[in-house]
Structure 1
Amino acid sequence: MLIATAPAWSQSLLKRLDPDKDGTVDLAEAKSAASNLFDKLDRDHDGTLDKRELRGRVNAKDFAAADPDNDGTLDKNEFLALVEKRFNAANPDNDGTIDAKELKSAPGRSLARLLN
């Protein structure tokens, strides 16, 4: 994903994550998309994601923080907790939704990398 094209990618991602078409993404919508994405990324179908399966989406520091049992993988609950953490960081006004402007912020781009 290129940051120079932020308006185009943010609108595209927002449309994909916003099934009720209200122009924003709430946490339930983000987690629903993340749950579906988890299943797609879990190529070996072991119910977890390892660093290889998350390449380009999560750096080593964030992966370690999201892996409280230190088993080197994220199960779906750990992955969804990471999504929630990034969602909350991208929602500075704490209104429970992320709009296109918030999605273009640094925390919003971090969430987008995870969900795209």
Structure 2
Amino acid sequence: MADRIATYEEFWPYYLREHASPTTRAVHAFGTGVGLLLLVAGLVVGPWWLVLVALVAGYGFAWGSHMLVERNRPATFTYPAWSLFSDLRMAWLMATGRLGPELRKAGLS
């Protein structure tokens, strides 16, 4: 990608295309879920270092899927905030069964 993406509306379809494999999406959703659980546990009951483990878990699963499945560079390195929001958005849409239409709009089946 030579040009920087200027808006989130442009980023979202790009993000989905970078997660074309259902395996990548599943690993991302799992990592996001584990990361959120650890984050909440660390903030609510402690110990505080669970917050750091949450980051490692969430990003570890996501980056691993990019390296091993998609074989592409995670968008987190270029668009960290949009990527985090999109990870949460994708996981939510997957959990609620509403990701399909978004994938089709992005040109994926």
Q: Which has more strand, going by share of residues? A: 1
Q: Which bin holds the TM-score, normalised by the shorter protein?
A: 0.3 to 0.5
TM-score by length of 1: 0.31
Q: Which has more helix, going by share of residues? A: 2
TM-score by length of 2: 0.32
